[in-house]
Structure 1
Amino acid sequence: MGLLQGYLSALKPLDVEEPIDVYVHRPPAYLLARLLLPTPVTPDQVTIASMGVGVLGGVLIAWPFPGHLTLAALCIFASTVLDCADGMLARLRRSSSALGRMLDGIADLVTISAVVAGHVVLVVSQRARAPWEMALVLVAMGATVFTSARHTAGYDHYKNVWLRLTTPRAGEAEDLPRARARFEAERARGLGLVGYVAWRIYLGYLSGQRAWVKRFDPFTVQDLAEVPAGEPACAARYRHHGARAMKHWRSVFGVGSLMAGLTVATALGWPELLVGFRLVVLNGVLYLILQPIQRQASREAFAGVANHAGRNP
């Protein structure tokens, strides 16, 4: 298999891949995955490395020395590349697992939290003097994290619905009922403290995602098992109605776009630019443009699915 063909085979379907990942983050990630393929290094170990490098980036942001922001930006970029490489390595080995996806989500949360915390320390120490300025920084950063979490959760949900309906690779997706069942099964066999905490974080994320999506789009499906996986007629119907909305989701609302923004904001030393963009511009796009498009797409795509109405508890 040639390099390009191998690269394409290690991607998710291009319908749901973020352009910033396809053209920036995943090419070096694929080369790394190819290098790791014959080694005993596991995708989960790559995920842990991604988290460690991302946390280091957050520490470097808050640690003032010459060139610290450049080094921090490089760490954030490297963390994003590693975050892409773990999934690509799993797909090359055909070893993708629900546990790996859970760990990947937790790593994203830890990395983003560390980077934002570093920026809070930086801005407060360098540009905020009065108490009200410090409070404003905390509120603005907190609001950015909160809304960005909604952005990525929305993208993740509609990506999973798309994969379930349009491709046989429905194993990429896991909904809340399936995750709860898997948690109960693993808890019955015995979970350590770390495993229990990881599960609680993961289930909390899925619960929050479910609640927000229900408000954002009451017409979408919530339980993936209720729709057929890769059935041609349903796939064609969903592609027809959902393609426009998915193009918006994957363009700017995924984790890859968020991490790219954090990398640029860190390199420039102006996290305020990212705060303004995500709070004002992206939320405007989300609620004024994308929400009506997505609701109409879901309503029309699922209009023919039996018992769909009222099945989002």
Structure 2
Amino acid sequence: MRAMTYPEYGNPDILQLTDVPAPKVGPGGILIRVERAAVNPVDWKVMAGGLDPMLEAVFPVIPGWDVAGTVEATGPDTPEFSVGDRVAAYARKEVVHGGTYAEYVSVPAESAAVIPADVDIDTAASLPLVGGTALRALETVQLSPDDTLLIHGASGGVGHIAAQLAVDYGTTVIGTASPKNHDRLREMGVTPVAYGDGLEDRVREIAPGGITAVVDFVGGVLDQSLALLGEERGNRLVSIADSEVEEHGGRWVWVRPDGGRLHYLLEKVSEGAVSVHIDRTFALEDAAEALEVSKSGEANGKLVIDVTR
């Protein structure tokens, strides 16, 4: 099969279009014929060796953790899926090797979810990592409709999904973003606020009754978050970017593959409660360019690799 691979840790320019064997399918797995793979910052961070202390790598590595496509084959212990099903998955595994920038990827059945008929393939591929992370953060903070939630980075890849989910839940949401993205947040039902110096005063002016929960998707905002929450913070402070929150009673969270949660997110897209903004798509052989765009921070939305091109 065609796949983008890298032979060692390095920058995106070491990616090569290669021909490698299609992955095997275990008893509890499915083989997906990939139509789309989405790009996430973690892809080039893993490629640079950023997760080497945590995850073993077997070279050559195929990057990519987000996928949408069609079930090509199933293991004998996967009654919930059939050949031909349209599925999406967060395809992270405990060993860095067989990712989604390829014509086929195998994933455990519990990582995948069937895509509703009215959800397009680009959206389905773009949702697993960012959507799962957003949902995990909101669950960890134990969000309720009575909360006033501050989201740091509300217009970013994870933040804009979290903002939509929280608004759909009935929560009052304030979100930090650069001024150019404020109208976009207002359209979601979020009250925007500029980040940077003076943030605490701006938030208190918007929410004189106080903030009851904070989720941080950018890092570097711990002092501001602590000041706004006060002493009774418990698990009301969650970050995906700053592990130091745990020293102050907060929670540092990751997300693991979970087909059930992904199914919930895809249904939210189908209902119209959640949308994913797609910036642009790339052919498989142009994956290195896609990663460079991601690294540059210039993307305004998700970057998608069209493996069928």
Q: Report the TM-score, using the length of structure 2 for normalisation.
A: 0.27
Report the structure, 1 or 2, having the larger helix content: 1
